[in-house]
Structure 1
Amino acid sequence: METLVHRELQMRAIALAFAVVATPAAAQDVITWKTIGWWDVNFYEAYGACAAIAEYDNDSFVFFGLDTSTSDLGLRVAILNHHWDSIAVDEAYQLVVRFDRRPPWDITMYGTDVDGRRGLYNLFPATSDSAGNFVREFQRSNHMVWTYRGTELGDFSLRGTNMAMNEVMSCTESYLDAVGSRSDPFEGGGNSKKADPFQ
């Protein structure tokens, strides 16, 4: 069955998850990668992966990307808005999202605060069938509508989403390649015949 990303990227992400944590403290929190249409694709140190973000006319932001900060590759999805001050960080909220005229999704999202902007997010296991189906609808749809308790949070255009998601995967793969190519002074093991293994 088709998955969110090809298996090579999945395996590399899982195998290197611990190496990602070792990113130097001096590294920037967010590194610009590329702009695809109105989507800005960046590397996020906190997630050890890349994500795309777009701003909309109603002061909302849509954010989606990968996350290698845990042992399983994750898909991080968020919506943020300047006016949603009453959202409680870490509190669960039941939302409905519909892509075009497809059947709606019931999704549990969690309160978050990003640079003073309140919003909702979730981290889905990227290799699950449901995450794969969610992403396929996300990529292939023209727009999505988010609703909370009958109140519409936004009708968001998804123009250029497919290209943005492909760029998120390319950006993340590039980062994982860079992490994997770091030299290891212990590679190959030591020589037990030497009194000084570092000689």
Structure 2
Amino acid sequence: MPTFEDLKGYAERATGLRRPGKRQALDLARVRKPHTVRFKDDGLVPNHPRWPLIIYRKAVAFDDRQDPAAAIEDLFEANGWGDTWRDGIYDYVHYHSGIHEVLGVARGRGRARFGGKKGRIFTLKAGDVVILPAGTGHQCLSADDEFLVIGAYPPTGAYDECTTVEHRPRALKTIPKVPVPRKDPVYGAGGPISKLWKRAK
């Protein structure tokens, strides 16, 4: 059943109200230094063997005239990342073995652990963006009532949700094969993702 945020998103797309549009959304990105973290295989969650998680703090500047969720959706879509959704982050450890994922915080505050049970905990706030290479474990530990995340995926790859040790054999084969996206979800073709992931050994 669609949530209130889903219905609001449908209405905004149908009418264009409170949406910046893809072209204008590009202007909402603020240049930020990427924070990168690598995670080791923890026995359950493989994480990515070469590429780090990327965090951009306060990378999206919101305008009072626009819905922050719509602004993030339009920004991600302008850079070729689609299949957007509005929700929180699942409260159990999971990862995707066939596709990368980007998470943008539209509002509120939450604590998420990345990298599996032995990973690292980050507090995420409105405007923060996290890019997870395939295989990266993630889980919400706590969040306020306002916490709203926009998720999206690059055009290449296949969505799956891995949660158990039974998923590992196939995941270990597919994770390294997921290609580097052509564009950074926030900064486009010239963004840091291509350098950070291509040069990471």
TM-score range, shorter chain: under 0.3
Q: Which has the larger radius of gyration?
A: 1
TM-score, structure 2 as length reference: 0.26
TM-score, structure 1 as length reference: 0.26
Q: Higher strand proportion, which one?
A: 1
